[in-house]
């Protein structure tokens, strides 16, 4: 006859297995692939001379860009959550006046010359990228967004856009609403939080990019 102690041990093993198995399943589940979005008409015709990951400062200029400084960072991963080595991330967005650095944007005279408008960076050894930019603003017909292009060696290019959680115009934005799958749409909407730990008065948000690999 099995002893009471052995029964208890078996019961404990059963409980432990019940706790562990679902976690393993979750860890192996595929992540939501970041949906592609239109490049739009304002990808730079010529890249700025200063094209680093700090869009708030343009080399050689004393002025800092107008806008709410925002640190956007994240990781570039595959569907299993493994980092994608060697990825390069580009972003571009309009300035605080809603004007892109692009000849096709009719607002060039109102453009904030202290805003870089475009930046690029390579992911680090942990698959992480980071930009210092401004909180995106709305312009006629669009809710606030930041354009992204992610280049992964051997995996082509993902073009997409990042949005800000809580923006009323998100509900009416045709490009964002064009992502029919609710979870995929949610995956490109980022919460911005105060980031006084990084820089006084700034915001931060995490946008992880999942490639279809």
Per CB under 5 A, residues contacting Fe ion are: 40
For Fe ion, the closer CB: 40 or 48: 40
For Fe ion, the closer CB: 141 or 194: 141
Which element (helix H / strand E) includes 194? strand 193-194
Report which residue's Cβ sits closest to Fe ion: 40
Q: How far is the CB of 37 from Fe ion (least distance, A)?
A: 10
Which element (helix H / strand E) includes 121? strand 118-122
Q: How far is the CB of 136 from Fe ion (least distance, A)?
A: 8
Q: How far is the CB of 42 from Fe ion (least distance, A)?
A: 6
For Fe ion, the closer CB: 37 or 127: 37
DSSP-assigned letters across all residues of 124-178 = -TTSEEEEEEE----BTTB-SEEEEEEEETTTEEEEEEEEETT-GGGGG-HHHHT
- Burial tier of 48 (Cβ tally within 10 Å: 0-12, 13-18, 19+): middle
Q: How far is Cα 87 from Cα 190, in angstroms, rounded to an integer?
A: 21
For Fe ion, the closer CB: 37 or 84: 37
Name the H helices within the chain.
4-28, 174-177, 182-186
Q: How far is the CB of 69 from Fe ion (least distance, A)?
A: 20
For Fe ion, the closer CB: 84 or 188: 188
Q: How far is the CB of 64 from Fe ion (least distance, A)?
A: 22
């Amino acid at each position: 006859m099995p002893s009471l102690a052995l029964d208890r041990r078996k019961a404990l093993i059963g409980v432990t297995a019940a706790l562990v198995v679902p976690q393993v399943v979750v860890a192996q589940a595929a992540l939501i692939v970041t949906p592609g979005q239109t490049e739009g008409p304002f990808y730079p015709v010529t890249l700025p001379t200063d094209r680093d990951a700090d869009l708030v400062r343009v080399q050689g200029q004393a002025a800092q860009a107008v806008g709410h400084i925002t640190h956007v960072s994240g990781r570039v991963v595959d569907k299993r959550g493994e980092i994608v080595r060697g990825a390069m991330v580009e972003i571009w967005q309009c300035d605080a006046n809603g004007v892109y650095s692009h000849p096709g944007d009719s607002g060039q005279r109102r453009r904030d010359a202290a805003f870089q408008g475009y930046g690029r960076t390579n992911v680090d050894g942990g698959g992480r990228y980071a930009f210092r930019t401004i909180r995106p603003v709305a312009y006629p017909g669009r809710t606030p967004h930041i354009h992204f292009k992610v280049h992964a060696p051997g995996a082509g290019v993902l073009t997409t856009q990042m949005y800000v959680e809580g923006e009323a115009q998100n509900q009416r934005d045709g490009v964002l609403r064009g992502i029919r799958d609710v979870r995929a749409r949610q995956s490109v909407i980022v919460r911005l939080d105060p980031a006084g730990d990084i820089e006084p008065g700034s915001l931060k948000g995490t946008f992880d990019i999942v490639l279809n690999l």
